């Protein structure tokens, strides 16, 4: 029975992308149950974007039909969004509601990101939403009715470590949504952006089961039901919402009143520094939905008294790249850096040489690089080739292809996204390794007020420009500990680009030079708020912009999922910014804060993590586990195991002492000593002692091995006892160090080892941040400055991991790409202990036997790559490191071996 007040969607046609599981499925079932005709779109791919399976959508359609609802399936990728919309219009003759929900993840830090990781995420989240919305738009306009919900994410709103691609796409959808709202207003088309948090196959790898249960997608559905209902108030179109676990709220932009300074040639970075507290003072802040009035500000600024200079800010010795530096704002930035002592690389397709010459003529140092930013690697290569380093990047290059959304073409969309967003990524990605190595970098990415607030005719530009902010916020986090600062600036000035939208007289007055001091200050070493900021500037005015969030409404978790009617009734509270309870969230954990609090208030919360409760729980468990011995584990082996192990370290059929049991010198390679530890029983379970333990995110971090007797038997029964030594809290990871002692069956000591596992995502439990000094087991050996005394390289066979695993470490990370991809590796990686064994082999090949050896696994090795071991003989030790020849990256660091045979009982010294 339908009650009169019930919210219904009868005769509405709803398209849900990614509706095969999780949130999308929950939406589809809900709308069908409330009378809508639903297009269930799902490609049925893996969560990282591979594969396809039509049964996923079919299953949801069947479920809807069994319940008496109406639905059809669509199996298209959102990249072919027009086909999804065609499915709706062909089956039902219209489309009323579009929920852009489909998504995939490719989490990886910028350091390790491949172009494919970037492109795939942008293609699915952003291009996908563009394609579906663009195809639905003419229908919406014709009907004078349309509702769009774009799925954003707290990772995008606040930036999240390891999600530069995803954050870019997700914040791009905010600028896109705001523009749709502006353009759709007069056609009764309303668009909103939603950052939901819910349990899904994407979160299953990182959340504990209790959290998964409490974050059921059903909790998000009622708000979406309200956002796409015909009753949604017009003023909420363009709004950004959060929903999770019974908590619902709304976000908006908050802008400081800022500092207004006299715009003349004395407006320098040091002058701005003196007023910085005003820039970041949010007292009496504004909450704009559009650009600040540039001409009004300019008039006021011109009346101000002369600027008072501070200590000059200089960039002597620094190398600066300004993209799009041939004209307008970029030219002003480049010239200012040149004047302040930097070596400037002016990048632009046109006029770059002219600006470089201007700088040189004024006594500065500059070159021009006339390449598209889409070839960012070549641009940066040129910078480094010329000046040997790159300290500062200003990603300023841009183009405009303004067009009303209804008429925007794929070409216009793609060109703008590629130059602004992909160009910024490409240049930054290329500069990043240099900045990491230098432990120094300053990046300013240029956004736009059209992006932040959305702008009519600029759906492409607004998406690109907010995407840049999501990207910047993420890499600001990733770069923080390497002294790489990343900020975003939305400038406003008269340039060739704004000439199309502003009268010429205004263009002349709004000089780019009035923005440039901010760029320079953010790239200096003295900016009081060094990284992660978002600023607006123009006309001598400089302000900071951040999120403000309404406190929203919490529906008690114990009472179950609220009805859509209840959420609609609460809408004025959900969107109330003025009740004195609004906050300014900055991180993804701020994003989930109220939802988690809501769960914790429920009676079911006993098992759910609250920071202190959880911390105490883990710290207690770790304390209880440390020192306790596991049961001695018996390991019986024969010459076959020895041969298999040796083969797993690349022994060939001609290495008879390693592969032929009848050879008089037949022996295991000495690192065989680690093999009995693979099957030994630990007195603890990692999932118990660590928060968020996910085996896919575990990597071998360090290994120490000491041989206690020699030779190593070629067969026999050994006993191994392990214990937990320590668990170190590295914030983003936990390092778990385990010791293992192996004896013969009769108790004769054979080996002692310590292994450290590096488990990403399991830190922040309040544990000690620093490892204990465990002498040789933790020695941080550094190679001497001279060239290595010996180098041995060895190309690993492509099937090496497949062989090595048969010696006992059957971790799927080394064989199963579906598993390894969750940890960020496209293909299964080589066992750390295989690399260790190979390098150890190289040491003994050059310097004879060793009795103790230690390495840190500094980088991954892929089967088939060549391991190059560089060695330095120092007294009784060999300090070594290993690199991957193909990438030049270090894979073993802090490594050393103590030469000689075991005996004497003295402690190893590495």
Ligand X SMILES: CCCCCCC[C@@H](O)CC(=O)SCCNC(=O)CCNC(=O)[C@H](O)C(C)(C)COP(=O)(O)OP(=O)(O)OC[C@H]1O[C@@H](n2cnc3c(N)ncnc32)[C@H](O)[C@@H]1OP(=O)(O)O
Binding residue (CB under 6 A) for ligand X from 35, 341, 766, 859? 859
* Only segment of 14-22, 496-504, 532-540, 731-739 that touches ligand X (CB under 6 A): 731-739
Residues 88-107 that bind ligand X (CB under 6 A): none
Q: Does the active-site annotation cover 170?
A: yes
DSSP 166: H
Q: Does 755 help bind ligand X (rule: CB under 6 A)?
A: yes
User: Which of 553, 894 has the CB closer to ligand X?
Assistant: 894
Q: Does 151 help bind ligand X (rule: CB under 6 A)?
A: no
Binding residue (CB under 6 A) for ligand X from 42, 270, 402, 702? 702
Q: Does 343 help bind ligand X (rule: CB under 6 A)?
A: no
In sequence order, what are the beta bridge partners of 444? 394, 487
Q: Does 622 help bind ligand X (rule: CB under 6 A)?
A: no
Long-range contacts of 646-655 (CB under 8 A, 24+ apart): 647/803, 648/800, 648/803, 648/804, 648/805, 648/806, 648/807, 648/834, 648/837, 649/804, 649/834, 649/837, 649/838, 649/841, 650/794, 650/796, 650/797, 650/800, 650/838, 650/841
489 Cβ partners below 8 Å, 6+ apart?
Answer: 444, 445, 446, 447, 515, 518, 519, 522, 534, 535, 536, 537
User: What is the rounded distance in angstroms from the CA atom of residue 436 to the CA atom of residue 482?
Assistant: 6
The nearest distance, CB 337 to ligand X, in angstroms, is: 30
Q: Does the active-site annotation cover 187?
A: no
Q: Does 857 help bind ligand X (rule: CB under 6 A)?
A: yes
> Is the separation of the CB atoms in 697 and 762 below 8 Å?
yes
Binding residue (CB under 6 A) for ligand X from 162, 441, 491, 701? 701
Task: Return the structure tokens found at 852.
Answer: 């103790």
Q: Does 477 help bind ligand X (rule: CB under 6 A)?
A: no
The nearest distance, CB 182 to ligand X, in angstroms, is: 42
* Only segment of 154-162, 327-335, 375-383, 853-861 that touches ligand X (CB under 6 A): 853-861
- φ/ψ of 455, rounded to 5, equals -150, 140
Q: By beta-carbon distance, which residue lies closest to ligand X?
A: 701
User: What is the rounded distance in angstroms from the CA atom of residue 794 to the CA atom of residue 841?
Assistant: 10
Binding residue (CB under 6 A) for ligand X from 549, 738, 851, 877? 738
User: Which of 95, 697 has the CB closer to ligand X?
Assistant: 697
Q: Does 754 help bind ligand X (rule: CB under 6 A)?
A: no
> Is the separation of the CB atoms in 345 and 387 below 8 Å?
yes
Binding residue (CB under 6 A) for ligand X from 141, 831, 854, 877? 831
Q: Does 890 help bind ligand X (rule: CB under 6 A)?
A: no
Q: Roughly what angle, to the nearest 10 degrees, separates helices 164-184 and 423-438?
A: 150
The nearest distance, CB 770 to ligand X, in angstroms, is: 6
The nearest distance, CB 740 to ligand X, in angstroms, is: 9
Catalytic residue selected from 145, 425, 440, 461: 461
Binding residue (CB under 6 A) for ligand X from 268, 472, 811, 869? 811
User: What is the rounded distance in angstroms from the CA atom of residue 839 to the CA atom of residue 793?
Assistant: 9
State CA 379 to chain mean position distance. Answer: 24
The nearest distance, CB 472 to ligand X, in angstroms, is: 20
> Is the separation of the CB atoms in 425 and 168 below 8 Å?
yes
> Is the separation of the CB atoms in 897 and 880 below 8 Å?
yes
* Listed residue (435, 543, 525, 541) closest to 488, CA to CA: 543
Catalytic residue selected from 9, 75, 158, 166: 166
* Only segment of 64-72, 554-562, 605-613, 825-833 that touches ligand X (CB under 6 A): 825-833
Q: Does 867 help bind ligand X (rule: CB under 6 A)?
A: no
Binding residue (CB under 6 A) for ligand X from 547, 758, 765, 872? 758
State CA 265 to chain mean position distance. Answer: 40
User: Which of 362, 780 has the CB closer to ligand X?
Assistant: 780
User: Which of 339, 738 has the CB closer to ligand X?
Assistant: 738
State CA 143 to chain mean position distance. Answer: 40
Q: Does the active-site annotation cover 382?
A: no
Binding residue (CB under 6 A) for ligand X from 509, 694, 860, 881? 860
Residues 641-700 that bind ligand X (CB under 6 A): 699-700
CA distance between the termini of the chain: 79
User: Which of 14, 728 has the CB closer to ligand X?
Assistant: 728
* Only segment of 216-224, 431-439, 484-492, 824-832 that touches ligand X (CB under 6 A): 824-832
Q: Sign of the C-alpha dihedral, residues 282, 284, 289, 290? A: negative
Q: Does 328 help bind ligand X (rule: CB under 6 A)?
A: no
Binding residue (CB under 6 A) for ligand X from 735, 822, 840, 843? 735
> Secondary structure of the chain: what % helix, strand, coil (to 5)?
40, 20, 40
Q: Does 756 help bind ligand X (rule: CB under 6 A)?
A: yes
User: What is the rounded distance in angstroms from the CA atom of residue 523 to the CA atom of residue 486?
Assistant: 9
> Is the separation of the CB atoms in 14 and 37 below 8 Å?
yes
* Listed residue (715, 751, 726) closest to 853, CA to CA: 751
The nearest distance, CB 699 to ligand X, in angstroms, is: 4
User: What is the rounded distance in angstroms from the CA atom of residue 66 to the CA atom of residue 74?
Assistant: 18
* Only segment of 128-136, 315-323, 468-476, 749-757 that touches ligand X (CB under 6 A): 749-757
Binding residue (CB under 6 A) for ligand X from 561, 705, 829, 892? 829
User: What is the rounded distance in angstroms from the CA atom of residue 334 to the CA atom of residue 383?
Assistant: 14
The nearest distance, CB 677 to ligand X, in angstroms, is: 8
Q: Does 535 help bind ligand X (rule: CB under 6 A)?
A: no
Q: Sign of the C-alpha dihedral, residues 360, 365, 369, 375? A: negative
* Only segment of 22-30, 320-328, 521-529, 756-764 that touches ligand X (CB under 6 A): 756-764
Q: Does 813 help bind ligand X (rule: CB under 6 A)?
A: yes
Q: Does 424 help bind ligand X (rule: CB under 6 A)?
A: no
Binding residue (CB under 6 A) for ligand X from 736, 853, 871, 890? 736
Catalytic residue selected from 37, 120, 131, 170: 170
The nearest distance, CB 481 to ligand X, in angstroms, is: 6
User: What is the rounded distance in angstroms from the CA atom of residue 778 to the CA atom of residue 780?
Assistant: 6
Q: Which residues are catalytic?
A: 166, 170, 461
| Chain contacts with ligand X (rule: CB under 6 A) | 699-702, 730, 735-736, 738, 755-758, 809, 811, 813, 829, 831-832, 856-860
């Amino acid at each position: 029975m339908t009650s009169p007040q019930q919210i219904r969607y009868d005769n509405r046609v709803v398209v849900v992308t990614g509706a095969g599981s999780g949130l999308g499925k929950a939406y589809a079932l809900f709308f069908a149950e409330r009378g809508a005709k639903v297009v269930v779109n799902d490609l049925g791919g893996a969560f990282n974007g591979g594969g396809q399976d039509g049964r996923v959508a079919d299953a949801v359609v069947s479920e809807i039909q069994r319940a008496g609802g109406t639905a059809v399936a669509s199996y298209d990728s959102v990249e072919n969004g027009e086909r999804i919309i065609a499915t709706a219009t062909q089956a039902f003759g219209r489309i009323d509601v579009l929920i852009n929900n489909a998504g995939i993840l490719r989490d990886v830090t910028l350091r390790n990101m491949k172009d494919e990781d970037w492109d795939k995420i942008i293609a699915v989240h952003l291009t996908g939403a563009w394609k579906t919305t663009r195809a639905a738009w003419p229908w919406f306009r014709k009907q004078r009715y349309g509702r769009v919900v774009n799925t954003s994410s707290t990772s995008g709103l606040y930036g999240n470590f390891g999600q530069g691609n995803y954050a870019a796409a997700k914040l791009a959808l905010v600028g896109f949504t705001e523009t749709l709202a502006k353009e759709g207003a007069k056609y009764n088309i309303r668009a909103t952006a939603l950052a939901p948090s819910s349990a899904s196959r994407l979160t299953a790898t990182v959340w504990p089961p209790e959290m998964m249960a409490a974050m059921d997608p059903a909790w998000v559905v009622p708000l979406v039901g309200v956002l796409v209902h015909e009753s949604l108030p017009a003023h909420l179109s363009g709004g950004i919402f959060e929903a999770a676990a019974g908590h619902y709220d709304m976000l908006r932009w908050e802008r400081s009143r800022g500092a207004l300074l006299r715009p003349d040639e004395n407006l320098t970075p040091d002058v701005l520094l003196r007023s910085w507290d005003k820039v970041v003072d949010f007292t009496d802040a504004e909450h704009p939905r559009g650009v600040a009035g540039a001409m009004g500000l300019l008039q006021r600024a011109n009346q101000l008294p002369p600027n008072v200079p501070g200590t000059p800010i200089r960039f002597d010795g620094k190398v600066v790249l300004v993209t799009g530096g041939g004209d307008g704002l970029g030219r002003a930035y480049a010239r200012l850096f040149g004047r302040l002592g930097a070596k400037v690389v002016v990048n632009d397709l046109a006029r770059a040489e002219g600006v470089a010459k201007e700088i040189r003529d004024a006594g500065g140092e500059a070159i021009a690089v006339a390449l598209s930013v889409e070839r960012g690697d070549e641009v940066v290569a040129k910078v480094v080739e010329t000046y040997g380093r790159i300290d500062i990047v200003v990603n300023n290059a841009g183009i405009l292809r303004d067009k009303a959304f209804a008429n925007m073409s794929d070409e216009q969309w793609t060109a703008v996204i590629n130059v602004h967003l992909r160009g910024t990524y490409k240049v930054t990605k290329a500069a990043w390794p240099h900045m990491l190595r230098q432990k120094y970098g300053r990046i300013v990415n240029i956004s736009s007020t059209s992006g932040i607030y959305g702008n009519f005719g600029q759906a492409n530009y607004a998406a690109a420009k907010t995407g840049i902010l999501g990207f910047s916020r993420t890499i600001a986090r990733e770069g923080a500990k390497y002294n790489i600062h990343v900020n975003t600036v939305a400038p406003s000035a008269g340039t060739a680009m704004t000439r199309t939208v502003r009268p010429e007289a205004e263009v002349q007055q709004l000089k780019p030079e009035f923005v440039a001091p901010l760029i320079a200050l953010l790239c200096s070493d003295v900016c009081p708020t060094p990284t992660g900021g978002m600023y607006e500037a123009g006309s001598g005015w400089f302000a900071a912009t951040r999120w403000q969030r309404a406190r929203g409404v919490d529906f008690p978790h114990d009472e179950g999922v609220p009805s859509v009617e209840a959420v609609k009734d609460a809408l004025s509270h959900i969107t109330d910014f003025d009740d004195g309870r609004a906050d300014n969230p900055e991180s993804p954990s701020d994003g989930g804060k109220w939802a988690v609090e809501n769960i914790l208030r429920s009676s079911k919360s006993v098992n759910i993590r609250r920071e202190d409760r959880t911390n105490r729980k883990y710290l207690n468990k770790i304390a209880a586990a440390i020192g306790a011995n596991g049961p001695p584990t018996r390991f019986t082996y024969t010459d076959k195991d020895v041969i298999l192990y040796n083969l797993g370290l690349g022994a060939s059929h001609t290495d008879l002492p390693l592969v032929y049991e009848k050879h008089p010198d037949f022996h295991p390679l000495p690192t065989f000593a680690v093999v009995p530890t693979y099957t030994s029983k630990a007195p603890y379970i990692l999932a118990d002692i660590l928060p968020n333990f996910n085996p896919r995110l575990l990597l071998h971090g360090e290994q120490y091995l000491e041989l206690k007797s020699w030779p190593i038997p070629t067969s026999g029964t050994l006993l191994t006892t392990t214990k937990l030594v320590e668990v170190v809290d590295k914030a983003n990871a936990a390092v778990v160090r385990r010791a293992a002692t192996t004896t013969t069956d009769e108790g004769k000591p054979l080996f002692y080892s310590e292994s450290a596992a590096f488990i990403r995502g399991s830190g922040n439990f309040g544990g000690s941040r620093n490892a204990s000094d465990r002498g040789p087991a933790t020695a941080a050996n550094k190679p001497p400055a001279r060239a290595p005394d010996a180098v041995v390289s060895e190309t690993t066979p492509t099937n090496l991991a497949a062989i090595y695993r048969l010696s006992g470490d059957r971790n799927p990370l080394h064989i199963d790409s579906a598993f390894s991809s969750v940890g960020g590796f496209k293909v299964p990686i080589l066992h750390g202990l295989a690399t260790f064994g190979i390098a150890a082999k190289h040491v003994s090949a050059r310097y004879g036997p060793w009795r103790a050896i230690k390495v840190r696994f500094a980088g991954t090795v892929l089967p088939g790559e060549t391991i190059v071991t560089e060695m330095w003989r120092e007294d009784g030790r060999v300090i070594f490191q290993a690199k991957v020849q193909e990438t030049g990256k270090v894979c073993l660091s802090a490594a050393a071996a103590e030469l000689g045979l075991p005996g004497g009982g003295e402690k190893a010294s590495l």
